Structure 1
Amino acid sequence: MSIRVDENNRPYIELGNGFAIRLNRAAYEEDKRLRVNVTLPEETAAAFAEFRRLAESKTTLNYVVDLSNYTAMVHLICYENDARKAFNTLDHGYRLRYREPTYVMPYAKIRHVYEQGFIRYLPECDDENVVIVVVEMGSRWDPSRISIVEFVTAIRISGILIMLIPKAQKYGYRVIYDVDGLSMRQIAHFSPRVSNVLFDLIENCTPVSIEGMHTVNNGVMYNVLFAIFKQFMSKGMRQKCCMHGKDWQSLAKYINPRCLPPRYGGTSAAPDCDGKLLAEYLDNYQGYVEEYNSYGYTGPPDPK
């Protein structure tokens, strides 16, 4: 199990048994060099120009729309060149950033969340090519060591990084929330304000569509947390939430067991990725986070 670079100069984690974890994007500095030489198709160029006009219409928004800025192009890709939808999502993210600056940190500040394996990417997509992310927030999470702000910030950064994955851009992603052993020790940290920020990030701040949220290993205590969460979910998001407990046949109705590890009733032969190795791999992409965070509102946003 090691970090390697493919023929296109894209880093990936070789897991063994023919499995790999890859964002399918060049490391930040190499990608930035490649971006400036891109020639846009006519339709995309027109959408790019409209995206720029919308950004420049916001008087307090510090945001540069050119080919050196990867976020504009990613948003347009996800929304198939619908400039207004693309910009509205980006704008919402920066409005939240302005209101809640506490959750804006460099990757290095939350790297330990990945090191300890609380957020991880599965190497196989499901039958619909949807990317699968696992977030573990059960008894293993010690809020005295990893604060709720750090955890939510790590989820925010995961949203930034998942925008880089071509399959996620096109097909979206699903999240498996593993809450095994969840207790009031963890639940007490989910204030209404924290929960509001969390679901605003998940629903409104990334152009990548979330295709489902699947909670596993949940017991009675999770009902307490979900009662808090659902106040901040849209109707559409609530419909995408499924609670499976330990009923792996229920989970299998949404995600093919072939791409799930045995701990979730799956049959995948992919080795588990070491958290420290994943954190080291993501070091290659921390520049994307820094670039995204370098933009934003410098004063109160204009009314929508």
Structure 2
Amino acid sequence: MAFVIDTSAPSAETQKIAAEELRETPENVAAGLKELKDLLAADTSITYDTSDDFLMIFLRPTKFYAKSAYELMKRIADFKKKHYELFGELSPEMEKDVFMNTDVLNIFPNRDHKGRRILMVKMGGNWKPSEISTDQILKILYMLHLAAMLEPETQIRGAVVIMDYKDMGMKQVTAVSPGFAMKLMTFIQEAMPLRLKEIHMVNNPMLFNMVWKIIKPLVKEKLNKRIHFHGSKMDSLHGFIPPSHLPEDYGGQLPKINYGGKDWYPAVEGHLAHFERWRKCGKN
């Protein structure tokens, strides 16, 4: 199965969504780009690529309010500096083995009924913390978000996440430390320039409550409203994503998942220049 990172211009339908939801009009785009470039030029503490296509990554999720985009870029730079050992010099080649041989993180080849990217994170029994650390999960997640931000369709329509905890045991529970939870929640809520529309928790056993006790205090109101718990009830998940856009694994009509990192790593590898461009961004 061939995965593709779609860098083409947004469709007419998506452009309409951008105008209605993100204030994306020619006038707002021009004004937003100019103001954001001026703000970045006046700030010698951070460095970012200032090409129009790159700045659109930050203007879209902040609805073309340049000051909000600038504040987002500063938070991203701060997060990257604080966790430089994880993200500062990160490239796909560094974690290629994990990319190629894990099914902890996966991307559906199809979008959902609203045109959103679907990311699946399996942190149940299939995840062996002794083989794949939480830091490695964070690195892969970080690189996947860098790849997703290349897609104008995803910049506008956003993404949803399915967190699958099937067969979660104490090995997985004890691996989810407060430090990991803090880094994950800070990244998602403060330093990720993507429109995260929904997070769906599925197959979560009673043991998951121990994990949620660690994470819940860190979840802000905006994100909390977008988190949905379904347990093993796939019909509950179908209330958000119809079966027509889900694989059999989740009660859907699409074929069972038989793809993984080995299939979508080549697509990521085809955009190494973007990862290098991102590596140069951040605090001076």
Query: 1:58 maps to which residue?
Result: 43
Query: 1:159 maps to which residue?
Result: 145
1:249-272, Cα deviation, whole Å (9 max, x unpaired): 111011111111101111114763
Q: In 2, Cα distance between the equivalents of 1:289 and 1:258? A: 34
Query: 1:121 maps to which residue?
Result: 107
Q: In 2, Cα distance between the equivalents of 1:133 and 1:221? A: 23
1:115-158, Cα deviation, whole Å (9 max, x unpaired): 22222221222222222111111222222222211111111122
Cα gap change, 1:175/1:248 in structure 2, threshold over 3 Å: closer, same or farther? same
Cα contact 2:5–2:267 (8 A) shared by 1 = no
Cα gap change, 1:171/1:64 in structure 2, threshold over 3 Å: closer, same or farther? closer
Cα displacement (A) at 1:43: 4.3
Query: 1:149 maps to which residue?
Result: 135
Residue 98 of structure 2 is aligned to residue 99 of structure 1: no
1:1-304 → structure 2 map (5 Å cutoff): 1=1, 13=2, 21-25=3-7, 43-67=28-52, 70-104=53-87, 105-115=90-100, 116-269=102-255, 272-298=258-284
Cα displacement (A) at 1:98: 1.2
Q: In 1, Cα distance between the equivalents of 2:261 and 2:46? A: 36
Cα contact 2:181–2:214 (8 A) shared by 1 = yes
Equivalent AA in structure 2 for residue 62 of structure 1 = T
Cα gap change, 1:152/1:222 in structure 2, threshold over 3 Å: closer, same or farther? same
Q: In 2, Cα distance between the equivalents of 1:183 and 1:234? A: 27
Cα gap change, 1:92/1:178 in structure 2, threshold over 3 Å: closer, same or farther? same
Q: In 2, Cα distance between the equivalents of 1:74 and 1:258? A: 30
Equivalent AA in structure 1 for residue 7 of structure 2 = R
SS of the aligned residue for 1:188 comes to: helix
Cα contact 1:159–1:202 (8 A) shared by 2 = no
Percent identity, aligned pairs only?
23
1:41-84, Cα deviation, whole Å (9 max, x unpaired): 564333222112222333321224235xx431222234443212
1:173-231, Cα deviation, whole Å (9 max, x unpaired): 11001111222212223222221110111122222211111111110111111111112
Query: 2:13 maps to which residue?
Result: none
Q: In 2, Cα distance between the equivalents of 1:227 and 1:24? A: 38
**More displaced 10-residue stretch of structure 1: 90-99 or 186-195:** 186-195
Cα contact 1:163–1:206 (8 A) shared by 2 = no
Q: Which runs of 5+ in 1 are unaligned?
A: 2-12, 14-20, 27-40, 299-304
Which stretches of structure 1, 4 residues or more, deviate above 4 A after TM superposition? none
SS of the aligned residue for 2:106 comes to: strand
SS of the aligned residue for 1:244 comes to: strand
Equivalent AA in structure 1 for residue 196 of structure 2 = I
Number of residue pairs the alignment of both structures matches:
265
Q: Which runs of 5+ in 2 are unaligned?
A: 9-25
Cα contact 1:102–1:149 (8 A) shared by 2 = no
SS of the aligned residue for 1:174 comes to: strand
Cα gap change, 1:78/1:216 in structure 2, threshold over 3 Å: closer, same or farther? same
Q: In 2, Cα distance between the equivalents of 1:113 and 1:257? A: 30
Cα gap change, 1:132/1:189 in structure 2, threshold over 3 Å: closer, same or farther? same
Q: In 1, Cα distance between the equivalents of 2:121 and 2:151? A: 18
RMSD over aligned Cα, in angstroms? Answer: 2.1
TM-score, scaled relative to structure 2: 0.85
SS of the aligned residue for 1:268 comes to: coil
